[in-house]
Structure 1
Amino acid sequence: MADHIFQKKKESTWYVRLDIPEGVRPAFGGSRVFLRSLKTARRSEAMERRLPWLAKWKAEIRDAKERKALLGDAWREELHAQSVEQQKNKERRILNLFSKAQTSATGPVDLSWIEGLREVVEGFIEAGRPDLAEKVVVTFQHYLDELPNLNPGSGAQLVEKMVAFFGEIEASVTADEYELSQEETEEAMRIMADHTVYKPRSPITQKRIEAFRLYQERKGIEPKTIDQMSRRVDQFSKYLNETGKPVSFDTVSAYLDQLTDKAGNALSSKTKKQHAWSCSSFWKWACKHDVDWREQYKGQPNPFADHDYPTIKGEAVSWDAFSKGDVEHLHALAVEKKDQPLADLIALGAYTGARLEEIGRIHRDNLTFKDGVPISFSITEAKSAAGIREVPIHPQIADLVSSLLEASPDGYLLPGGNNKYGNRLDSLSKRFGRLKTAAGFGKEHVFHSIRKTAITLVHQAGADVAVMPGLFGHETGMITFDLYSKGPSLEQKAKVIGLLSFAFP
């Protein structure tokens, strides 16, 4: 019946029929099919008349599916939480039965709460569930019959029965509220009977993570930072899926405690803070831009905030500056290894104090010449406004800059290639890492340490401290300099750079 029309036996009238998917039948009163008389005995007319009905029914089924999809696992999560709480109450009540105070207590049992059952029964009848109303009456009659002969053992059994009863009632009410199918209703019963059969899924879905990523991209956040943040949020979401825990302060605390590196070593406090910061950024975004999330966690404080991060001895490693002799030694090692691009990188870093990728972006288009000699280069991309600046070229590397530019096939001083984050000097950076490690330097020394060396040397040589921030791309923290001043002149910067001197071959 691919065309959805048929004739009943011994009838000439045509009917249109459409099966209702099992998962959404509760939304249609449990009906299995839509059926309508087309009031014609002619098949050609029936084929035309069926179309509006089919369109209407399919739209209703689609709406029912969408409503169900929007709810997702909400009913499972609600029942799971209630089942956990019910289990705690059951254990507490049974423990009380066997406690000394309970077993020795005398006096009448307080049954005033039973008065409220009348409203419960009437409510079920009004809702069209006389079966549940009858179940309440029968169960509580049994409860009253058992009371006179209770002892701790029989009392525990009665508690078990009453808890199971309340679980069945809760599952039935939830099934009606969420229009669950028969299969889903049976699952609801199982969850209320044993909360361990269901692990709540993480509310941090891939769809939400992608929306968060798009938001960060529109804000102009660095791609590498976006990747790191999204990866950390996804990692926390997987933890929620594996454990079935809710998004809460305690869950976040447990998550941070169990974080380790690939070797199984606990992460440093600094790295844990980065995980919490990434997830906190997601939380703030979701609370502001995701309506369903905002409603679900309305009134709940940020669970990623205010965690304690104990400082472990030796874990806080700050980058150290190389000495002048160290930089000269590293340069000589690079020359000895016949890695001239690496030697050139070290020389450029030492005489400019520029960051790795700032050096990687030096191009003929951002160089300034005077009488054919390069005198400065402009940095037009930086993480902050202070990083956008003009840097003078030390006379000791002017010839080097000219020769590199002359030999360059693409206009950049140093050879490189863009990785997925647009960084040109990844390869040189790794080679520098291997070089300094072979020279006996640890993780506290990186290429950025050469920048620290340059700044330290000019400072110790008596450089004008009011010029140094403008030369090296730092904010001063003073409104006068950061907001109102255009910064030091190139001549002032050149005087500071001129204080540097290295014995490079």
Structure 2
Amino acid sequence: MAKPSNTIRDTKNLIQKAGESTWYVRLAVPADVQKVIGRKVFIKSLQTASLTEAQRRRGVYLTTWWAQIEAARKSRELPEGWQSNVVAAIETVSSMFQNQKRAIIGEAIPPLPPINPELEARLRGNPRLVEAFETHVKQRLGEGLSGKLQLQDELAEVHKQLAEKLVIRRHTVGLEQKAVLISLIADPASHRSKSPITKNRLKAYRAFRENRGGAPKHIDQQVGKMDRLSTFLKDEGLVLNFDTVDVWLNSLDRAPATLGQYLMAGTAFWKWAMKYDTAWREEYKDKVNPFVGHDLPQGGGSETAGQDREIYTLDDTIKLRQAALNGSNQSLADLIMLGWYTGARIEELCQLNKESVITVDGIRCFDFPRSKSKASKRVVPIHASLLTTVDRLLQDALDTYLIPTQSANRYGHRSHAISKAFGRLRTTAAFSKLHVFHSFRHTVVTQLIRADVPDALAKELVGHETGSVTHDVYSKGASTVQKLAAISKLPPLL
């Protein structure tokens, strides 16, 4: 009878040791992560002599080991912001040896920083290197002052070379990264401080907010504010702290309320990063939130901050509409008329389409859908002086909307472009920044009150809640006839 083979049988990560019937699962650890994992091979008894059963059981171990290898490889990747770390280390080395040169010529210098233990061990672990180093030092010291100064320059260069080797030893460094590493060591000044608010972090922050069901516009605004801060830090070569945030705020030239929104956006990002971003949490673990504690200007940053909006008089509106016509902007002139006769919000007017013009109790009306609140959904009779304009808009409408504008923005809003055009028209016509399109709402409410229209009815026409539970919850509101009588009290534009 043939003797049993002493060789190890192997099939797809499965082995049997010599003289054993039990199967083992085995996986060699790649050389690049052996030091991180602390072994050269994974091996585990599957406690079965059946090859079929061993093949079934091995999967869980292989999956776990492959995950460990992948995690070990990721741990060797250069961390985010590694360039700044390298520059800081090289600048420390350069400063240290520059101070040593100053000490040689008799100047007082600060205490030397502690020696990197790994660097010291690496130097002392090579006897031949130590011997050559000591011989060279003695030679330089024998050359007098010039030799001593030159020795410091040479030692600085040696430390720079060792720094490069340490980075490569600790991390997986690609060809492009190595080229950057060499460049930074040779010329640290070539690297400007990079913002910690990176594109990847902003992407992760956006995904987090979207997964929590945040409003797209609000998310865009907050991410956009942090992106602007990041650009500022990069352009100015600044780190993120309280002082740089203060400098950034001063550079914005915004109203205090707007600056407050920037700080709230910063705080929201900071809280997210400290909770969910491991690298950020480690880097800023001993830092306070740089977005809190700022004293914002009182009434500064905007000439209109804290001031009430002005209303448009009849003469103002006629002047404004004529300016639009003189500028060949019929759409803007029509929008001004709609604002004067309805007091509706600019976006509500831009959303009006052919189906929004309805007839109720024999009276033609605008059917405004819900926008900002429950009260914003309302039916408003069309003022007699506006009917001819509405008929023309219905006939000329190309895409069903009464007011033609550029395509809607990403949030479905149609008023953005024409609102900007209105702002330019207002400036050209010599109106102040306190005169905005929304001022027409104030104008209409003021006109209705002065015409003795009941407060609840005036609010119903412009889409404001009355504040009365009886009216807002239980009442069906005024009749169409009552609303027409009220809206008819608005003076016509002659």
TM-score bracket, normalised by the shorter chain, equals 0.5 to 0.7
- Kindly state the Cα deviation for residue 295 of structure 1 after the two structures are TM-superposed: 4.5
Q: Deviations over 1:392-441 (max 9, x none)?
A: 33544573586257524554333345333333345644554454344322
- Kindly state the Cα deviation for residue 326 of structure 1 after the two structures are TM-superposed: 0.8
Match of 2:25 in 1: none
Q: Deviations over 1:45-82 (max 9, x none)?
A: xxxxxxxxxxx9xx99x959962785354443333334
Match of 1:399 in 2: 387
Match of 1:317 in 2: 304
Q: Is the 8 A contact 1:432 1:447 kept in 2?
A: yes
In structure 1, what is the Cα distance between the partners aligned to 2:155 and 2:493? 86
In structure 1, what is the Cα distance between the partners aligned to 2:32 and 2:90? 24
Change (3 A) 1:449 1:156: farther
Q: Secondary structure, in 3 states, of the residue corresponding to 2:478?
A: helix
- Give the partner amino acid of 2:441: R
Change (3 A) 1:226 1:460: farther
Change (3 A) 1:337 1:132: same
Residue of 334, 342, 345 corresponding to 1:352: 342
In structure 2, what is the Cα distance between the partners aligned to 1:181 and 1:77? 18
Q: Deviations over 1:87-145 (max 9, x none)?
A: 66777888899999x69xxxxxx99x9xx98x9489937xxx7547887899899999x
Q: Secondary structure, in 3 states, of the residue corresponding to 2:368?
A: strand
In structure 2, what is the Cα distance between the partners aligned to 1:335 and 1:231? 37
Residue of 419, 423, 427 corresponding to 2:408: 419
In structure 2, what is the Cα distance between the partners aligned to 1:166 and 1:434? 62
Q: CA RMSD in A?
A: 5.5
Change (3 A) 1:312 1:410: closer
- Kindly state the Cα deviation for residue 212 of structure 1 after the two structures are TM-superposed: 4.0
Residue of 294, 302, 311 corresponding to 2:289: 302
Q: Deviations over 1:133-171 (max 9, x none)?
A: 887899899999x99xx99x9999898787777766665
Match of 1:20 in 2: none
Match of 2:238 in 1: 245
Change (3 A) 1:250 1:313: closer
Change (3 A) 1:393 1:434: same
Residue of 208, 215, 219 corresponding to 1:221: 215
Change (3 A) 1:368 1:173: same
Change (3 A) 1:282 1:136: farther
Q: Secondary structure, in 3 states, of the residue corresponding to 1:369?
A: strand
Q: Is the 8 A contact 1:373 1:402 kept in 2?
A: no
- Give the partner amino acid of 1:503: P
Match of 2:60 in 1: none
Q: Is the 8 A contact 1:404 1:413 kept in 2?
A: no
Q: Is the 8 A contact 1:394 1:497 kept in 2?
A: no
Q: Does 1:124 align with 2:121?
A: yes
Change (3 A) 1:392 1:166: same
In structure 1, what is the Cα distance between the partners aligned to 2:326 and 2:247? 51
The correspondence of residues 234-383 of structure 1 with structure 2, limited to 5 A, is 234-258=227-251, 276-310=263-297, 315-317=302-304, 319-334=309-324, 340-366=330-356, 369-375=359-365, 377-382=367-372
Match of 1:78 in 2: 85
Identity %: 26
Change (3 A) 1:280 1:462: farther
- Give the partner amino acid of 2:84: E
Q: Is the 8 A contact 1:418 1:424 kept in 2?
A: yes
In structure 2, what is the Cα distance between the partners aligned to 1:191 and 1:333? 60
Q: Is the 8 A contact 1:331 1:346 kept in 2?
A: yes
> What number of residue pairs does the alignment pair up?
426
Match of 1:45 in 2: none
Change (3 A) 1:86 1:481: farther
Q: Secondary structure, in 3 states, of the residue corresponding to 1:374?
A: strand
- Give the partner amino acid of 1:381: S
In structure 2, what is the Cα distance between the partners aligned to 1:295 and 1:483? 56
In structure 2, what is the Cα distance between the partners aligned to 1:501 and 1:354? 14
- Kindly state the Cα deviation for residue 483 of structure 1 after the two structures are TM-superposed: 13
In structure 2, what is the Cα distance between the partners aligned to 1:93 and 1:472? 77
Q: Is the 8 A contact 1:239 1:255 kept in 2?
A: yes
- Give the partner amino acid of 1:450: F
Q: Deviations over 1:455-479 (max 9, x none)?
A: 3444556665566666545678xxx
In structure 2, what is the Cα distance between the partners aligned to 1:354 and 1:271? 25
In structure 2, what is the Cα distance between the partners aligned to 1:418 and 1:425? 9
Q: Is the 8 A contact 1:202 1:241 kept in 2?
A: yes
Q: Is the 8 A contact 1:77 1:200 kept in 2?
A: yes
Q: Secondary structure, in 3 states, of the residue corresponding to 1:490?
A: coil
Q: Secondary structure, in 3 states, of the residue corresponding to 2:364?
A: strand
* TM-score normalised by structure 1 residue count: 0.61
In structure 2, what is the Cα distance between the partners aligned to 1:481 and 1:163? 79
The correspondence of residues 423-502 of structure 1 with structure 2, limited to 5 A, is 423-425=413-415, 428-429=418-419, 431-458=421-448, 472-473=462-463, 485-486=472-473, 489-491=476-478, 494=483, 498=487, 501-502=490-491
- Kindly state the Cα deviation for residue 357 of structure 1 after the two structures are TM-superposed: 1.0
- Kindly state the Cα deviation for residue 491 of structure 1 after the two structures are TM-superposed: 1.5
| Runs of 5+ consecutive residues of structure 2 not aligned to the other structure | 1-29, 36-62
Q: Deviations over 1:280-339 (max 9, x none)?
A: 544444445545444444454333344444468683325432223212332355567775
- Kindly state the Cα deviation for residue 214 of structure 1 after the two structures are TM-superposed: 4.7
Q: Secondary structure, in 3 states, of the residue corresponding to 2:402?
A: coil
Q: Secondary structure, in 3 states, of the residue corresponding to 2:473?
A: coil
Q: Is the 8 A contact 1:168 1:189 kept in 2?
A: no
Match of 1:177 in 2: 170
Change (3 A) 1:371 1:256: closer
Change (3 A) 1:428 1:253: closer
- Kindly state the Cα deviation for residue 354 of structure 1 after the two structures are TM-superposed: 1.2
Q: Is the 8 A contact 1:470 1:488 kept in 2?
A: no
Q: Is the 8 A contact 2:87 2:184 kept in 1?
A: yes
In structure 2, what is the Cα distance between the partners aligned to 1:314 and 1:122? 53
Q: Deviations over 1:327-375 (max 9, x none)?
A: 2332355567775543332222122221111111123545553233134
Match of 2:5 in 1: none
Q: Is the 8 A contact 1:464 1:496 kept in 2?
A: no
| Runs of 5+ consecutive residues of structure 1 not aligned to the other structure | 1-23, 30-55, 104-109, 260-265
